[in-house]
């Protein structure tokens, strides 16, 4: 009888102090994100504050051009949406935002740049963000398949389109996870801005910063595997070793969320043709805004090499 009581106590302890916190943390991290749009006065992100007015100007500029709200169905049945700024061009920039962000918060200034450079621009909403459906984020591991759905949707509209993929933060990791299976000939190249190496690595970094028990990370990984069949240990570098398309890597040297070291590891792992631009004093997701002249020059040269000459 005593052994039974002890066993029950141990099981109860595990449920209360191990399993329950892991499930709660998993839902907090991977659950649907309630993100604020760029023009909402309640939005406060320290990294973007110095560039907020410029970004709002870019946002108004794009909105004045007009867009078509598109929707597609993901491979697992989730309705995804995106905004297409169609200027009738023969090339399109497909843009992928990061975790816990409205896409325009991450992408508005480079989106305007692409538009002015003569691209159609498709700004997508990742699953579990904004107008897209889904109750769970896949941290890039599910989203990589969503990007393929968007590519196919664009090709159904125009098979002759040349495409460039641009991703920021988790959006960059999404593209890195996709890099070894991206065989569509219409996709010319991609740009990865401050993409992380793995969800596990990112969670460990965040847990350390927030003084959370490191034991929670592998437990969150178990819940993610059971709930979404994803492995948070999966590393972008393993995919980049077999990358199919040229990649321009962009990273700020003052990025405290995804340190420059991770960007260098992604770059070093990449087996495809590659370039890297490092921006001094640029925090997470704002390399383009911090030194637009340097970044846009690198982007333009990359486009000239891999799109305009093809």
- Residue range 191-204, pLDDT digits in tens: 999 999 999 999 88
pLDDT band at 47 (very low <50, low <70, confident <90, very high): confident
pLDDT at 215: 78
Residues 121 and 129: their CA atoms lie apart, in Å, by 19
Task: Give the model's pLDDT for residue 97.
Answer: 98
Mean pLDDT across 250-262: 96
- Residue 242 is predicted with a pLDDT of 98
Task: Match 């492995």 to its residue by tokens.
Answer: 231
Q: Around Cβ 305, how many Cβ atoms within 10 Å?
A: 16
For the chain, where do the domains classified as CATH 3.40.50.1820 start and end? 48-198+234-308
Query: Cα torsion for 58, 301, 154, 107, to the nearest 10°?
Result: -30
pLDDT reported for residue 24: 85
Q: Which residue has the tokens 């579990």?
A: 128
């190496």: which residue's tokens? 197
Strand partners, 91: 162
CA 300 and chain centroid, separation: 22
pLDDT digits (tens, 9 = 90+) for 267-287: 999 999 999 999 999 999 999
Strand duo 79-85 + 91-96: pairing: unpaired
Query: What span, in angstroms and rounded, lies between the C-alpha atoms of 18 and 7?
Result: 16
Q: Write the pLDDT tens digit of every residue in 169-220.
A: 999 999 999 999 999 999 999 999 999 999 999 988 877 765 667 778 998 9
Question: Residue 185 corresponds to which tokens in the numbers above?
Answer: 């000939």
Q: Is the pLDDT of residue 13 over 80?
A: no
Class for the domain spanning 48-198+234-308: alpha beta
Angle at 128 between CA 23 and CA 114, to 5 degrees: 140
Distance CA 177, CA 142 (A): 10
When pLDDT is averaged across residues 92-110 and rounded to a whole number, the result is 96
Strand 247-252 and strand 187-193: the pairing is parallel
Name the band, by pLDDT with cuts 50, 70 and 90, for residue 20. confident
Q: Does pLDDT of 131 surpass 70?
A: yes
Band (pLDDT 50/70/90 cuts) for residue 35 is: confident
Closest CA to 307 of 94, 109, 67: 94
pLDDT value at 17 more than 70: no
pLDDT band per the 50, 70, 90 thresholds, residue 18: low
């Amino acid at each position: 009888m005593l052994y039974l009581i002890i066993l029950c106590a141990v099981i109860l302890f595990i449920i209360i102090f191990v399993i329950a916190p892991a499930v709660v943390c998993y839902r907090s991290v991977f659950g649907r994100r309630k993100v604020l749009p760029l023009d909402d006065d309640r939005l406060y992100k320290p990294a973007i504050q110095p560039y907020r007015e410029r970004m709002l100007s870019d946002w108004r500029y794009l909105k004045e051009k007009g867009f078509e709200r598109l929707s597609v169905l993901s491979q697992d049945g989730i309705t995804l949406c995106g905004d297409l700024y169609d200027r009738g061009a023969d090339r399109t920039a497909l843009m992928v935002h990061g975790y816990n962000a409205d896409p325009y918060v991450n992408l508005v200034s480079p989106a305007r740049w692409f538009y002015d450079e003569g691209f159609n621009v498709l700004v997508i909403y990742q699953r579990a963000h904004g107008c897209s459906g889904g109750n769970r984020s896949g941290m890039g591991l599910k989203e990589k398949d969503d990007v393929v759905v968007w590519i196919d949707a664009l090709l159904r509209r125009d098979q002759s389109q040349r495409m460039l993929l641009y991703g920021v933060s988790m959006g960059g990791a999404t593209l890195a996870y996709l890099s070894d299976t991206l065989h569509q000939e219409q996709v010319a190249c991609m740009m990865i801005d401050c993409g992380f190496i793995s969800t596990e690595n990112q969670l460990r970094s965040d847990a350390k910063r927030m003084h959370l028990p490191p034991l929670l990370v592998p437990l969150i990984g178990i819940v993610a595997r059971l709930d979404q069949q994803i492995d948070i240990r999966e590393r972008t570098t393993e995919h980049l070793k077999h990358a199919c398309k040229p990649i321009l890597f962009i990273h700020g040297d003052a990025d405290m969320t995804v340190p420059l070291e991770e960007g260098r590891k992604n770059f070093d792992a990449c087996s495809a043709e590659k370039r890297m631009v490092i921006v001094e004093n640029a925090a997470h997701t704002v390399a383009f805004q911090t030194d637009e002249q340097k970044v846009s020059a690198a982007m333009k040269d990359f486009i000239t090499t891999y799109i305009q000459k093809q």
